Amino acid sequence: MTDPGRGFDPATGDGAEVPAGRREAELRTAYEGLLQIRRLVNGPAGAGVPAPWEVARPARAVALVLEASGITPSAVDGEGRRTRTGYRVAAVSGAGRVEVTWVGPPGGGAAGEEQERLTACAAVLGERGWVCLLYRGPRGRRFLEVEPPR
């Protein structure tokens, strides 16, 4: 949840499930803080575009926006097996870019949901100033490539 040296850790989809109700207050505070940082440092663009802090830490920023919007993150157990279907945010090669996938337990139906769910993720991120491109990768699985505007 919160590491005192680092602050709030948004759900990237690679962590353990957290019971409902335990993160809401911290999540709300972290997200409101992100929007306040945007308003303070972005000048006329305000909260509509990522702040330099986000551009330097895109995986954290994108995960925070997705979690704050109410989209469910995936989760894994102690052995790394998927236990819940949801988004997964991961850094990719190339500065400032991340990949968002829709993953879940084997046989859980994530592949059948991915276009609709990733389109919803792209809409939320686009409203917050991120540029999202939906691709079809290996084995036909879709993913979003997300980066700040240029």
Q: Which pLDDT tens digit goes with each residue over 28-53? A: 999 999 999 999 999 888 889 999 99
Burial string for 21-33 (b: 16+ CB within 10 Å, else e) reads eebeeebeebbee
pTM for the structure as a whole: 0.91
**Average pLDDT, stretch 123-148?**
95
Count: domains in the chain: 1
**CA neighbor of 113 nearest in space, from 81, 75, 86:** 86
Question: 125 with 66: CB under 8 angstroms?
Answer: yes
Range of the domain at 69: 2-147
**Interatomic CA distance for residues 95 and 57, integer angstroms:** 10
What average pLDDT score do residues 2-24 get?
Answer: 77
